[in-house]
A and B are shown apart, each in its own frame.
Chain A
Protein backbone atom coordinates (compact mmCIF):
# COMPACT_ATOMS: atom_id res chain seq x y z
CA UNK A 1 0.00 0.00 0.00
CA UNK A 2 1.34 3.40 -0.90
CA UNK A 3 0.00 6.03 1.39
CA UNK A 4 0.12 9.78 1.69
CA UNK A 5 2.60 9.67 4.56
CA UNK A 6 5.38 7.94 2.56
CA UNK A 7 7.39 11.06 1.71
CA UNK A 8 11.02 9.87 1.47
CA UNK A 9 12.45 11.14 -1.82
CA UNK A 10 9.21 12.74 -2.98
CA UNK A 11 9.74 15.81 -5.16
CA UNK A 12 7.99 19.14 -5.34
CA UNK A 13 8.05 20.33 -1.73
CA UNK A 14 10.43 23.25 -2.25
CA UNK A 15 12.95 24.56 0.27
CA UNK A 16 13.15 23.28 3.83
CA UNK A 17 12.01 25.57 6.61
CA UNK A 18 14.82 27.40 8.34
CA UNK A 19 15.17 26.32 11.99
CA UNK A 20 14.05 28.90 14.53
CA UNK A 21 15.78 28.34 17.88
CA UNK A 22 13.05 30.31 19.65
CA UNK A 23 10.12 28.37 18.19
CA UNK A 24 7.71 27.61 21.04
CA UNK A 25 6.74 23.97 21.66
CA UNK A 26 3.15 24.87 20.83
CA UNK A 27 2.73 27.98 18.71
CA UNK A 28 -0.95 28.33 19.54
CA UNK A 29 -2.92 27.15 22.55
CA UNK A 30 -5.07 24.72 20.53
CA UNK A 31 -1.96 22.84 19.38
CA UNK A 32 -1.16 21.77 22.93
CA UNK A 33 -4.80 20.76 23.50
CA UNK A 34 -4.80 18.76 20.23
CA UNK A 35 -1.50 17.08 21.20
CA UNK A 36 -2.83 16.02 24.61
CA UNK A 37 -6.22 14.94 23.22
CA UNK A 38 -4.53 12.77 20.61
CA UNK A 39 -2.23 11.09 23.14
CA UNK A 40 -5.17 10.34 25.40
CA UNK A 41 -7.29 9.15 22.49
CA UNK A 42 -4.57 6.76 21.38
CA UNK A 43 -3.64 5.48 24.78
CA UNK A 44 -6.83 5.32 26.77
CA UNK A 45 -10.01 6.24 24.95
CA UNK A 46 -10.23 4.67 21.51
CA UNK A 47 -8.42 1.43 22.36
CA UNK A 48 -6.12 2.12 19.43
CA UNK A 49 -2.37 1.73 19.71
CA UNK A 50 0.59 3.75 18.43
CA UNK A 51 0.76 1.76 15.21
CA UNK A 52 -2.97 2.26 14.72
CA UNK A 53 -2.41 5.99 15.18
CA UNK A 54 0.28 6.01 12.49
CA UNK A 55 -2.07 3.99 10.26
CA UNK A 56 -4.81 6.55 10.92
CA UNK A 57 -2.43 9.30 9.79
CA UNK A 58 -1.57 7.30 6.67
CA UNK A 59 -5.25 6.74 5.83
CA UNK A 60 -6.07 10.44 5.80
CA UNK A 61 -6.81 11.88 2.41
CA UNK A 62 -4.31 14.35 1.03
CA UNK A 63 -6.22 17.43 2.16
CA UNK A 64 -6.49 16.11 5.71
CA UNK A 65 -2.86 14.93 5.81
CA UNK A 66 -1.51 18.24 4.52
CA UNK A 67 -4.02 20.07 6.72
CA UNK A 68 -3.60 23.84 6.41
CA UNK A 69 -3.44 23.84 10.21
CA UNK A 70 -0.20 21.89 10.02
CA UNK A 71 1.07 19.02 12.05
CA UNK A 72 -1.41 19.24 14.91
CA UNK A 73 -4.22 19.77 12.43
CA UNK A 74 -3.19 16.39 11.01
CA UNK A 75 -3.12 14.88 14.51
CA UNK A 76 -6.59 16.18 15.17
CA UNK A 77 -7.85 14.55 11.98
CA UNK A 78 -6.23 11.22 12.95
CA UNK A 79 -7.62 11.42 16.50
CA UNK A 80 -11.11 11.94 15.11
CA UNK A 81 -10.61 9.00 12.74
CA UNK A 82 -9.53 6.71 15.61
CA UNK A 83 -12.53 7.82 17.68
CA UNK A 84 -15.02 7.24 14.88
CA UNK A 85 -13.36 3.89 14.02
CA UNK A 86 -13.98 2.85 17.63
CA UNK A 87 -17.48 4.39 17.54
CA UNK A 88 -16.70 6.57 20.54
CA UNK A 89 -17.87 9.45 18.37
CA UNK A 90 -20.32 9.46 15.48
CA UNK A 91 -19.01 10.70 12.13
CA UNK A 92 -19.61 14.43 11.99
CA UNK A 93 -19.91 14.81 15.78
CA UNK A 94 -16.90 17.12 16.09
CA UNK A 95 -18.01 19.36 13.27
CA UNK A 96 -21.57 19.56 14.63
CA UNK A 97 -20.32 20.52 18.10
CA UNK A 98 -17.90 23.07 16.71
CA UNK A 99 -20.68 24.72 14.71
CA UNK A 100 -22.95 24.73 17.73
CA UNK A 101 -20.22 26.38 19.78
CA UNK A 102 -20.04 28.99 17.06
CA UNK A 103 -23.72 29.68 17.48
CA UNK A 104 -25.02 27.80 14.45
CA UNK A 105 -28.27 25.88 14.74
CA UNK A 106 -27.17 22.30 14.05
CA UNK A 107 -28.37 18.95 15.25
CA UNK A 108 -25.70 16.75 16.80
CA UNK A 109 -25.59 13.07 15.88
CA UNK A 110 -26.51 10.60 18.66
CA UNK A 111 -23.75 8.86 20.58
CA UNK A 112 -23.11 5.52 18.85
CA UNK A 113 -22.64 2.10 20.46
CA UNK A 114 -18.87 1.96 21.13
CA UNK A 115 -16.96 -0.66 19.17
CA UNK A 116 -13.47 -0.55 20.62
CA UNK A 117 -10.97 -3.14 19.39
CA UNK A 118 -10.65 -6.17 21.63
CA UNK A 119 -6.97 -5.67 22.31
CA UNK A 120 -4.67 -6.36 25.22
CA UNK A 121 -0.93 -5.92 24.66
CA UNK A 122 1.28 -8.74 25.97
CA UNK A 123 3.64 -6.20 27.52
CA UNK A 124 4.45 -2.51 27.70
CA UNK A 125 5.78 -0.62 24.70
CA UNK A 126 6.75 -2.02 21.33
CA UNK A 127 9.83 -4.13 22.07
CA UNK A 128 9.57 -7.87 22.71
CA UNK A 129 11.93 -10.80 23.33
CA UNK A 130 11.78 -13.54 20.72
CA UNK A 131 13.38 -16.95 20.96
CA UNK A 132 14.62 -17.67 17.46
CA UNK A 133 17.93 -16.04 16.55
CA UNK A 134 18.04 -13.24 13.94
CA UNK A 135 18.03 -14.50 10.34
CA UNK A 136 20.70 -11.99 9.31
CA UNK A 137 24.03 -10.96 10.80
CA UNK A 138 25.85 -7.64 10.74
CA UNK A 139 27.49 -7.27 7.32
CA UNK A 140 24.96 -9.45 5.48
CA UNK A 141 23.59 -8.17 2.21
CA UNK A 142 19.78 -8.05 2.14
CA UNK A 143 17.24 -7.13 -0.49
CA UNK A 144 14.00 -5.36 0.41
CA UNK A 145 10.64 -6.53 -0.91
CA UNK A 146 9.16 -4.70 -3.85
CA UNK A 147 5.48 -5.41 -3.21
CA UNK A 148 3.59 -5.19 0.07
CA UNK A 149 0.02 -6.34 0.79
CA UNK A 150 -2.50 -3.68 -0.15
CA UNK A 151 -4.94 -4.43 2.66
CA UNK A 152 -2.76 -3.48 5.62
CA UNK A 153 -0.14 -0.90 6.53
CA UNK A 154 3.61 -1.41 6.55
CA UNK A 155 6.76 0.52 7.46
CA UNK A 156 8.71 -0.16 4.28
CA UNK A 157 9.01 3.17 2.45
CA UNK A 158 8.88 3.18 -1.33
CA UNK A 159 12.33 4.67 -1.72
CA UNK A 160 14.10 1.59 -0.30
CA UNK A 161 11.92 -1.08 -1.95
CA UNK A 162 13.68 -3.56 -4.20
CA UNK A 163 17.14 -2.34 -3.19
CA UNK A 164 20.11 -4.16 -1.73
CA UNK A 165 21.61 -2.89 1.53
CA UNK A 166 23.94 -4.10 4.25
CA UNK A 167 22.91 -4.95 7.82
CA UNK A 168 24.65 -2.43 10.11
CA UNK A 169 23.03 -3.22 13.47
CA UNK A 170 20.65 -5.78 14.92
CA UNK A 171 18.03 -3.93 16.96
CA UNK A 172 15.72 -5.31 19.65
CA UNK A 173 12.77 -7.25 18.26
CA UNK A 174 9.62 -5.16 17.75
CA UNK A 175 5.91 -5.76 17.37
CA UNK A 176 5.11 -5.91 13.66
CA UNK A 177 3.22 -2.70 12.80
CA UNK A 178 1.63 -4.37 9.76
CA UNK A 179 -0.57 -6.56 11.96
CA UNK A 180 -0.43 -4.66 15.25
CA UNK A 181 -1.93 -1.53 13.67
CA UNK A 182 -5.03 -3.45 12.60
CA UNK A 183 -5.35 -5.64 15.73
CA UNK A 184 -4.33 -8.85 14.01
CA UNK A 185 -1.62 -9.68 16.52
CA UNK A 186 1.73 -8.47 17.78
CA UNK A 187 3.82 -10.92 15.66
CA UNK A 188 7.16 -9.63 17.01
CA UNK A 189 10.04 -9.77 14.54
CA UNK A 190 13.73 -9.00 14.49
CA UNK A 191 14.53 -5.49 13.30
CA UNK A 192 17.71 -4.55 11.48
CA UNK A 193 19.34 -1.23 10.73
CA UNK A 194 20.10 -1.59 7.03
CA UNK A 195 22.48 0.72 5.23
CA UNK A 196 21.95 1.76 1.60
CA UNK A 197 24.27 3.59 -0.74
CA UNK A 198 22.80 6.77 -2.23
CA UNK A 199 23.79 5.79 -5.77
CA UNK A 200 21.90 2.51 -5.50
CA UNK A 201 18.80 4.38 -4.33
CA UNK A 202 18.92 7.45 -6.54
CA UNK A 203 21.27 6.73 -9.45
CA UNK A 204 24.79 7.57 -10.53
CA UNK A 205 24.26 11.33 -10.43
CA UNK A 206 23.10 11.40 -6.81
CA UNK A 207 25.08 13.04 -4.02
CA UNK A 208 27.39 10.55 -2.27
CA UNK A 209 25.99 9.52 1.11
CA UNK A 210 24.45 6.59 2.98
CA UNK A 211 20.96 6.11 4.40
CA UNK A 212 20.18 3.71 7.21
CA UNK A 213 16.68 2.60 8.07
CA UNK A 214 15.16 0.07 10.48
CA UNK A 215 13.52 -2.81 8.63
CA UNK A 216 11.47 -5.73 9.92
CA UNK A 217 12.60 -9.28 9.18
CA UNK A 218 9.71 -10.07 6.84
CA UNK A 219 10.56 -7.07 4.63
CA UNK A 220 13.91 -8.65 3.74
CA UNK A 221 15.37 -11.54 1.78
CA UNK A 222 19.02 -12.60 1.42
CA UNK A 223 20.87 -10.88 -1.40
Chain B
Protein backbone atom coordinates (compact mmCIF):
# COMPACT_ATOMS: atom_id res chain seq x y z
CA UNK B 1 0.00 0.00 0.00
CA UNK B 2 2.86 2.33 -0.84
CA UNK B 3 0.61 4.64 -2.80
CA UNK B 4 -1.78 5.02 0.14
CA UNK B 5 1.09 6.16 2.32
CA UNK B 6 1.05 9.39 0.40
CA UNK B 7 -2.47 10.21 1.56
CA UNK B 8 -2.81 11.99 4.84
CA UNK B 9 -5.06 10.68 7.57
CA UNK B 10 -7.15 13.83 7.21
CA UNK B 11 -7.72 13.04 3.52
CA UNK B 12 -8.60 9.41 4.19
CA UNK B 13 -11.00 10.45 6.97
CA UNK B 14 -12.71 13.01 4.77
CA UNK B 15 -13.07 10.43 1.99
CA UNK B 16 -14.57 7.84 4.34
CA UNK B 17 -16.98 10.35 5.86
CA UNK B 18 -18.10 11.48 2.42
CA UNK B 19 -18.59 7.93 1.10
CA UNK B 20 -20.72 6.92 4.09
CA UNK B 21 -22.64 10.19 4.23
CA UNK B 22 -23.68 10.10 0.57
CA UNK B 23 -24.98 6.56 1.06
CA UNK B 24 -27.06 7.79 4.00
CA UNK B 25 -25.13 5.60 6.45
CA UNK B 26 -23.67 8.43 8.48
CA UNK B 27 -25.16 11.70 9.65
CA UNK B 28 -22.36 14.23 10.23
CA UNK B 29 -24.50 15.84 12.95
CA UNK B 30 -24.49 12.57 14.90
CA UNK B 31 -20.71 12.51 14.54
CA UNK B 32 -20.53 16.10 15.83
CA UNK B 33 -22.51 14.99 18.89
CA UNK B 34 -20.13 12.11 19.67
CA UNK B 35 -17.11 14.37 19.33
CA UNK B 36 -18.61 17.11 21.48
CA UNK B 37 -19.57 14.60 24.18
CA UNK B 38 -16.01 13.35 24.58
CA UNK B 39 -14.44 16.79 24.16
CA UNK B 40 -16.60 18.54 26.73
CA UNK B 41 -18.74 16.21 28.85
CA UNK B 42 -17.05 12.87 29.49
CA UNK B 43 -13.55 13.24 30.89
CA UNK B 44 -11.39 12.81 33.98
CA UNK B 45 -13.39 15.46 35.85
CA UNK B 46 -16.03 12.74 36.32
CA UNK B 47 -13.52 10.43 37.96
CA UNK B 48 -12.24 13.30 40.09
CA UNK B 49 -15.77 13.91 41.38
CA UNK B 50 -16.10 10.22 42.29
CA UNK B 51 -12.80 10.25 44.19
CA UNK B 52 -13.53 13.51 46.01
CA UNK B 53 -16.86 12.09 47.15
CA UNK B 54 -15.14 8.92 48.39
CA UNK B 55 -12.60 11.00 50.32
CA UNK B 56 -15.25 12.96 52.21
CA UNK B 57 -17.90 10.23 52.59
CA UNK B 58 -16.65 6.93 54.11
CA UNK B 59 -19.91 5.14 53.34
CA UNK B 60 -19.71 6.15 49.69
CA UNK B 61 -16.10 4.99 49.61
CA UNK B 62 -17.16 1.59 50.92
CA UNK B 63 -19.86 1.29 48.23
CA UNK B 64 -17.38 2.43 45.58
CA UNK B 65 -14.86 -0.26 46.49
CA UNK B 66 -17.58 -2.91 46.73
CA UNK B 67 -19.45 -2.13 43.51
CA UNK B 68 -17.73 0.55 41.48
CA UNK B 69 -20.24 0.59 38.64
CA UNK B 70 -23.23 1.21 40.93
CA UNK B 71 -21.48 3.80 43.09
CA UNK B 72 -20.27 5.68 40.03
CA UNK B 73 -23.79 5.63 38.65
CA UNK B 74 -24.99 7.32 41.85
CA UNK B 75 -23.12 10.41 40.62
CA UNK B 76 -24.72 10.07 37.19
CA UNK B 77 -21.82 8.54 35.28
CA UNK B 78 -22.12 5.49 33.05
CA UNK B 79 -22.19 4.49 29.40
CA UNK B 80 -19.89 2.97 26.80
CA UNK B 81 -16.76 1.27 28.20
CA UNK B 82 -18.26 1.38 31.67
CA UNK B 83 -20.28 -1.82 31.89
CA UNK B 84 -18.35 -3.08 34.90
CA UNK B 85 -15.93 -0.74 36.66
CA UNK B 86 -13.78 -1.99 39.54
CA UNK B 87 -12.22 0.64 41.79
CA UNK B 88 -9.03 -0.23 43.70
CA UNK B 89 -7.54 1.82 46.48
CA UNK B 90 -3.95 3.01 46.56
CA UNK B 91 -2.47 3.20 50.05
CA UNK B 92 0.95 3.98 51.52
CA UNK B 93 1.85 0.30 51.03
CA UNK B 94 -0.06 -0.80 47.89
CA UNK B 95 0.06 0.95 44.52
CA UNK B 96 -2.25 -0.08 41.68
CA UNK B 97 -1.67 1.03 38.09
CA UNK B 98 -3.85 0.20 35.06
CA UNK B 99 -3.11 -0.71 31.45
CA UNK B 100 -4.56 -2.56 28.49
CA UNK B 101 -1.76 -4.49 26.82
CA UNK B 102 -3.95 -5.87 24.01
CA UNK B 103 -5.59 -2.60 22.94
CA UNK B 104 -6.36 0.54 24.92
CA UNK B 105 -9.34 -0.37 27.10
CA UNK B 106 -10.07 2.50 29.48
CA UNK B 107 -13.04 3.46 31.70
CA UNK B 108 -14.55 6.13 29.46
CA UNK B 109 -17.44 7.22 31.75
CA UNK B 110 -15.06 8.31 34.51
CA UNK B 111 -11.86 9.13 32.59
CA UNK B 112 -12.98 10.03 29.07
CA UNK B 113 -10.87 8.89 26.13
CA UNK B 114 -7.35 7.68 26.89
CA UNK B 115 -4.36 10.03 26.55
CA UNK B 116 -1.66 9.29 23.99
CA UNK B 117 0.87 7.90 26.48
CA UNK B 118 -1.67 5.26 27.63
CA UNK B 119 -2.22 4.11 24.03
CA UNK B 120 1.47 4.17 23.17
CA UNK B 121 3.13 0.77 22.55
CA UNK B 122 5.95 1.57 25.00
CA UNK B 123 3.56 1.96 27.94
CA UNK B 124 1.48 -1.09 26.94
CA UNK B 125 4.57 -3.27 26.52
CA UNK B 126 6.63 -2.16 29.51
CA UNK B 127 4.27 -1.47 32.41
CA UNK B 128 3.62 -5.22 32.86
CA UNK B 129 7.34 -6.01 32.76
CA UNK B 130 9.09 -3.24 34.68
CA UNK B 131 6.44 -1.02 36.31
CA UNK B 132 8.76 0.49 38.90
CA UNK B 133 11.12 1.68 36.17
CA UNK B 134 8.27 2.95 33.99
CA UNK B 135 6.60 4.83 36.84
CA UNK B 136 9.94 6.44 37.73
CA UNK B 137 10.34 7.52 34.08
CA UNK B 138 6.91 9.13 34.39
CA UNK B 139 7.97 10.98 37.51
CA UNK B 140 6.59 8.69 40.20
CA UNK B 141 9.31 7.23 42.43
CA UNK B 142 7.85 4.59 44.76
CA UNK B 143 9.62 3.34 47.86
CA UNK B 144 11.03 -0.18 47.56
CA UNK B 145 8.61 -1.56 50.13
CA UNK B 146 5.50 -0.41 48.23
CA UNK B 147 3.75 -3.35 46.61
CA UNK B 148 2.91 -2.64 42.96
CA UNK B 149 -0.11 -4.30 41.33
CA UNK B 150 -0.54 -3.81 37.57
CA UNK B 151 -4.13 -4.19 36.35
CA UNK B 152 -4.21 -5.39 32.72
CA UNK B 153 -7.73 -4.84 31.29
CA UNK B 154 -8.22 -7.74 28.90
CA UNK B 155 -12.02 -8.13 29.13
CA UNK B 156 -14.90 -5.66 29.52
CA UNK B 157 -13.92 -5.08 33.17
CA UNK B 158 -12.54 -1.57 33.57
CA UNK B 159 -10.29 -0.41 36.40
CA UNK B 160 -10.06 2.94 38.15
CA UNK B 161 -7.64 3.83 40.93
CA UNK B 162 -8.81 5.55 44.10
CA UNK B 163 -5.68 7.54 44.92
CA UNK B 164 -4.49 8.45 48.42
CA UNK B 165 -5.83 11.71 49.77
CA UNK B 166 -2.82 13.99 50.22
CA UNK B 167 -1.80 15.21 53.65
CA UNK B 168 -2.80 18.80 54.34
CA UNK B 169 -6.25 18.51 52.75
CA UNK B 170 -8.10 17.50 55.91
CA UNK B 171 -10.08 20.76 55.93
CA UNK B 172 -10.80 20.82 52.19
CA UNK B 173 -14.38 20.57 50.99
CA UNK B 174 -15.39 18.13 48.25
CA UNK B 175 -15.40 21.01 45.75
CA UNK B 176 -11.91 22.06 46.80
CA UNK B 177 -10.58 18.52 46.45
CA UNK B 178 -11.88 17.93 42.91
CA UNK B 179 -9.33 20.13 41.05
CA UNK B 180 -6.42 18.35 42.77
CA UNK B 181 -7.36 14.97 41.30
CA UNK B 182 -5.68 14.33 37.96
CA UNK B 183 -6.25 11.78 35.23
CA UNK B 184 -2.77 10.38 35.82
CA UNK B 185 -3.61 9.67 39.48
CA UNK B 186 -6.81 7.86 38.46
CA UNK B 187 -4.77 5.55 36.21
CA UNK B 188 -2.06 5.14 38.84
CA UNK B 189 0.95 6.75 37.17
CA UNK B 190 0.94 9.69 39.58
CA UNK B 191 -0.14 10.57 43.10
CA UNK B 192 -2.44 13.40 44.05
CA UNK B 193 -0.43 16.27 45.48
CA UNK B 194 -1.27 19.63 46.95
Contacts and interface: CB of A to CB of B under 8 A. Distances in A.
Contact of B25 (A45, A211, A215): A45
Interface string B48-84: 0000000000000000000000000000000000011
Contacts of A169: 86
Given A6-B102, A15-B122, A80-B16, 16 more contacts: A7-B102, A16-B120, A24-B39, A25-B38, A30-B14, A35-B34, A37-B20, A63-B1, A126-B155, A126-B156, A157-B101, A159-B128, A206-B129, A206-B130, A209-B131, A214-B154
B113 interface: yes
Nearest to B33: A36
A66 interface: yes
**Does more than half of chain A's interface fall in helix, strand or loop, or is it mixed?**
mixed
B163 interface: no
Interface of A: 5-11, 13-21, 23-37, 39-41, 44-45, 54, 57-58, 63-64, 66-67, 69-73, 76, 79-80, 88-89, 93-95, 97-102, 111, 125-127, 155-157, 159, 169, 171-172, 174, 191, 193, 195, 201-202, 206-216
Q: Which residue of B17, B19, B84, B190 has the most chain A CB atoms within 10 A of its CB atom?
A: B19
B193 interface: no
29 contacts: A8-B101, A10-B125, A13-B126, A16-B120, A16-B127, A19-B117, A21-B183, A21-B184, A24-B39, A25-B38, A25-B113, A26-B35, A36-B31, A36-B34, A40-B25, A40-B34, A45-B20, A70-B116, A76-B12, A88-B23, A94-B12, A97-B15, A101-B14, A125-B83, A156-B154, A207-B130, A207-B131, A209-B147, A210-B150
A73 B131 CA distance: 28
A211 B7 contact: no
Contacts of A28: 10
B3 A212 contact: no
A98 B116 contact: no
Contacts of A16: 117, 120, 122-123, 126-127, 134, 137-138
Contacts, number: 242
B112 interface: yes
A69 B17 CA distance: 17
B173 interface: no
Contact of B14 (A69, A98, A191, A212): A98
A13 B129 CA distance: 13
A54 B133 CA distance: 29
A184 to B, nearest CB: 18
